[in-house]
Amino acid sequence: MTTGPDPSSQPAQVNRREFVLSVMSVAAASGAVNAAPAPAQARPAQAATGVPLTFVVNGRQHSLAVDPRTSTLDLLREQLALTGAKKGCDHGQCGACTVHIDGRRVVSCLTPALQLEGRRVDTIEGLQGPDGSLHPMQQAFIDHDALQCGYCTPGQIMAAIACVREGNAGSPERIKEYMSGNLCRCGAYNGIVAAIGQAAGQMEKA
């Protein structure tokens, strides 16, 4: 097994077609979790760095070394201090962590950060205009009382914007089907559907 840098930085003529990025030793992290230490030979000898990643979040480029186990959600929240995306279930069942990657909505809790190389992430923090104006979807959620506690709201809004852009917001029935991956324990669903209907019209005009 060999260790290599980020494949995207490899010259094209490299004929080693399998790029191996070693785990690097994340011994500090795992040692704290596992009471029984793993046998010494299980620890790769490399320096404690991680997988090098370069990606863009809300228009800003980041280059970091990341533990390959990290989720995109944890990366956003814990390393980039973008706490808009919420950790509800951490298993792709609630939608509170929804963000856009390359313009498509995904659940960031089930997106390993290692998949972010060269990609563009958009979160709720990037929605506001330069003058501080709200996105029409944000305003529509306020107009229609589409929240109560607000915990699911960033995920709802990011999913809703994608739902409109996909062309899946043409009727209340279609909105309900294509927003079913975002749960709201407060039960603000009627307001959410109304808000998306309003914003859909405004986004299409814009």
Partner 1 sequence: MREFTLIRARSAHDAVQAMTSHPEARLMAGGTTLYDLMKLGVERPPAIIDINGIKELGAFDTGGARELVFGSLARMSDVAADPRLVEDYPALSESLWRPASQQLRNMASLGGNVLQRTRCAYFRGGEPFACNKRVPGSGCAALDGVDRGHALLGTSPHCIATYPGDFAVALVAFDAVLDVLGPNGMRSIPVETLHRLPGERPDLETTLAPGEIITRIRVPVTTLGRASTYHKIRDRESYAFALSSAAVALSMKGGRVEQARIALGGVATKPWRARVAEQGLVGRELTIETALAAGFAAFMDARTGHHNGFRIELGARTVADALMIAAKRS
Positions touching partner 1 (CB under 8 A) are 1, 7, 17-23, 26, 30, 44, 51, 68-69, 71, 90-92, 95, 98, 104-107, 110-112, 114-115, 159, 162-163, 166, 168, 176-178, 180-182
CB of 138 to partner 1, least distance (A): 19
Q: CB-wise, 18 or 131, nearer to partner 1?
A: 18
Q: CB-wise, 68 or 126, nearer to partner 1?
A: 68
Q: What is the DSSP string of 96-157?
A: TTEEEETTEEEEGGGSBGGGGTT-EEE-GGG-S-TTSPPPHHHHHHHHTT--SS-TTHHHHH
Q: CB-wise, 10 or 133, nearer to partner 1?
A: 10
Q: CB-wise, 43 or 62, nearer to partner 1?
A: 43
Strand ranges of the sheet holding 60-66, from the earlier edge strand across to the other edge: 60-66, 51-57, 120-122, 98-101, 104-107
Q: CB-wise, 138 or 156, nearer to partner 1?
A: 156
CB of 22 to partner 1, least distance (A): 6
| β-bridge partners, 99 | 106
Fill in the amino acid letter for 73.
L
CB of 132 to partner 1, least distance (A): 28
In sequence order, which residues have a C-beta less than 8 Å from that of residue 154 and are 6 or more positions away?
84, 85, 86, 96, 98, 123, 124
CB of 181 to partner 1, least distance (A): 2
CB of 91 to partner 1, least distance (A): 5
Fill in the amino acid letter for 85.
A
